[in-house]
Chain A
Amino acid sequence: MSPTRHGADHGDGDAVVVEGLAKHYGDKKAVDGLDLTVHRGEVFAVLGPNGAGKTTTIEILEGYRERDAGSVRVLGVDPQTADRAWRSRIGIVLQNASDQAELTVGELVRHVGGFYPDPRDPDEVIDAVGLREKVRTRTRQLSGGQRRRLDVALGIVGRPELLFLDEPTTGFDPEARRAFWDLIRGLRDDGTTILLTTHYLEEAENLADRCAVVRDGRVVALDAPAALGGRSARQAVVRWTEDDVTRQVSTDTPTAVVAEVAARFATGEVPGLQVLRPTLEDVYLSLIGEASTTPGADPDAAPTRVGPAGSTTEARR
C-alpha cells in the first residue's frame, strides 16, 4: 500500500475502528454488535441486503447518528464529539440528495469547496467526475446519474483523508460505473481511504481491497473479495457426464479430480466436463442466508449443495 500523505501529521493507525457497535430504533436492532476496522489507504466495501444496518452504521461513522453502545474511532476521533477540523478531514457522499436545485454545478462545487481549509481545485474536480459540459447547468436539470456524480464531486472537493460513499453508483449506466471506479482508484492511489457501501457485488470485486458482509446488524464475513467466505465456500465443483448420468463433486483440488476422472475415459475426453468456481455473488448469497440458486452459468451446479451422494462417492473412489 502506498504511504498515505496524512500519515505524518495525524499519526498512523487505522482510519476506522468500530467495536461492539449497537443501535436500535424502538424494538428493532438496526446494528447489533458490529466490529470492523478500515486500514488507512484501502478501499473497504460494506455489502449487505437492505435493512442489514449498512446505512445506519455509515451514518454513525459520519457523525449523523448517535450510537447506543460500542466504541467508534474515525481518524482517531469519536464522531459524536467531532469538531470542524475532523469534518474537514472526511468526505461524505449522500445516498440520495436533490438539494440546492437552483445552483449550478460550478457554483455548488466552488461553494462547498470554500468550507474546507485545503480544497481541491473545483474545476479539476468537475473534470474528474465528467461534468465539464454541465458546469453552468442548474442541478435540478441534471439526470439521476449526473446528480450522483455531482454528489461525488461535493464529497471529494474538500480533499478528504477518508471518503464515505453510500451506494455511490446507483443509477449509473455501465460506462459511467467504470469511469467512477477509475476515479475511486485514482483517489485511493492519492492516499484517500475509502469506505463504501454497495449493492453491486461487481463493484466490491472491482474496487475493494477488503469487504465486510453485514447481515442483521453484524459482520458475518470480512476478507479480500477473492477470499471472502473462507475455503469451504471457495470450493470448486467438477462436473461431468458418465454412464448418461450427470455427476459432480465439490473439491479443493479440482485438477486432481479432473485427472482422476479423465483416466477413466479411454478417449481422454470427459463428456460434459465443467469446473465451476463460486462467484462472489454465490458466496455472498450463502453468507446472507439466501438460497443460492444461480451459481456460475448453470442453475443445477450449486457449489453449496453437493450433488447426489452416490455420484460423489463414486467419483471419489
Chain B
Amino acid sequence: MSAAMPLRPTAGATTHRLPSVLTLGLARTRIEVRQFFRERDAVVWIFAYPIIMLAIFATVFGQGDARVGATGTFAGIPFGQYFLPGMVATGVMLSSFQNLAITIAVERDDSTLKRLRGTPLPASAYFLGKIGSVLLTSLVQTALLLLVAATVFGIEMPSTAQRWITFAWVFALGTAAGAVCGVAFSSVPRTGRSASAVVTPVVLVLQFISGVFFGFTQLPGWMQDVSSVFPLKWMAQGMRSVFLPDQFQAHEVSGSWEHGTTALVIGAYLVLGLVLGARTFRWRRRDDG
C-alpha cells in the first residue's frame, strides 16, 4: 500500500438520484454474463453437455442409418432428430436450474450476496441480472445445439411458424421456471462447495426418468407417474412437439402433445419456485446467524 494516493476531497453536498432498477438490472446482467463465461469449466459443462450427449446417442443408435418410428408409409426419423428435443430440454434445465442453484449457493457461501445486501442494489436488480444472464446463456446454448444438430447431424429443423411459436413459449416458460426453481433450490446445499454435488444428481435423475434419453413410453409406468410431477418431462414433451413429426403423438402416453397440460405444469413450477424462492431466500450463510 506504499503507492497509496490521497482521495480528492468531496465537493459540497449535492443531490443525486439513485440509479434505476432497470439500469442496475442491466449492469448486473453484464457482470453476471462476464462471470459466467470466465468460469470455464461450468461453461464447457453447460454448453457442451447436451451437444456431446446428442452426438453419442445419435452415433450409437443411428448406426447404419437406423430410423425411429417407421410405420406403413411413414419412413420414420433419424435417431439424432429423435433425441434432439430431450437435449434441448436438458440444456434449458442446465443453464437455468442447475446454473442458478449452484452459483447462488456459492455466492451465498463466499459473501457475494452479503456484500450486495450491504449496498443500495435492490434485490429486484439482482434477480433481473440472474434472469438476464440465464436467458442469454440459454439462448446461446440452445442456438449452438440446434446449429450443431442441423449442420453436423443433418437434422431437419421445424419449418412452420406454428412450431417455432411453440418452441418460443416452451423455451421461455421452461427457462423462467428453471430459473426460479434454481433460486429456491440454492438454499438446499449447506455450503457452496457441496452445491454441485447436491444439484447435479437431481438433474441427472430427472433426465433419466423424464424420457430425455429414452422414449418416454419405454419407461416403467411408475417412473412415468413420478416424472409427470416434474417439469422436465413436460419440457421434453413440449420440445418433441416442436422437433418431431405429428406421427409421433402416437408415442406419447396420452396420444397427443398435451400443450395445455405442459403449460399448466411448467407454469405451476414457475409459481411454486417464485413463492418458495421468495420465502426461503437468504442473503447470508446458515452459520452466519
Contact = CB atoms under 8 A, between A and B. Distances in A.
A128 B118 contact: no
Given A114-B19, A179-B2, A94 B115 contact: yes
B221 interface: no
Contacts of B279: none
Contacts of B8: 121, 124
B161 interface: no
Interface string B102-122: 000001001110110111111
Interface stretch (A95-103, A236-244, A288-296, A301-309): A95-103
B228 to A, nearest CB: 39
B1 A180 contact: yes
Given A5-B10, A118-B16, A98 B34 contact: no
A59 B87 CA distance: 46
A114 B27 contact: yes
A195 interface: no
B7 A187 contact: yes
A15 to B, nearest CB: 16
Q: Which bucket holds chain B's interface residue count?
A: 35 or more
A281 B122 CA distance: 43
Contacts of A88: 18, 119-120
Nearest to A65: B289
Contacts of A133: 3
A53 interface: no
Interface string B1-26: 11111111110111111110001100
Contacts of B289: 25, 56, 59, 65
Name, among B9, B24, B31, B117, the residue most crowded by chain A CB atoms within 10 Å (CB to CB): B31
Interface string A1-22: 0000110110000000000000
Contacts of B18: 84-85, 88, 116-117
Given A87-B118, A87-B119, A97 B111 contact: yes
Contacts of B115: 92, 94, 97, 99-100, 112, 154
Contact of A132 (B3, B7, B19, B23): B3
A183 interface: yes
Interface in B205-254: none
A159 interface: yes
B119 A115 contact: yes
B10 A190 contact: yes
A64 B117 contact: yes
B114 A97 contact: yes
Given A97-B114, A114-B19, A118-B16, A128 B120 contact: no
A158 B118 CA distance: 11
Contacts of B10: 5, 159, 190-191
A175 B9 contact: no
B67 interface: no
Interface in A92-147: 92, 94, 96-103, 107, 111-112, 114-118, 120-121, 124-125, 127-130, 132-133, 138, 145
B4 A129 contact: yes
Given A64-B284, A114-B27, A183-B4, A99 B112 contact: yes
A6 B118 contact: no
Given A103-B35, A115-B119, A130 B4 contact: yes
B283 to A, nearest CB: 8
B31 A103 contact: yes
B13 A6 contact: yes
Q: 3 nearest interchain CB pairs?
A: A179-B1, A117-B16, A99-B112
Interface of A: 5-6, 8-9, 25, 56, 59, 62-65, 84-85, 87-88, 90, 92, 94, 96-103, 107, 111-112, 114-118, 120-121, 124-125, 127-130, 132-133, 138, 145, 149, 154, 156, 158-159, 172, 175-176, 179-180, 182-183, 186-187, 189-191
18 contacts: A85-B120, A97-B110, A99-B111, A100-B110, A103-B38, A112-B119, A114-B19, A114-B23, A114-B27, A115-B121, A125-B7, A127-B5, A130-B2, A158-B120, A176-B1, A183-B7, A190-B9, A190-B10
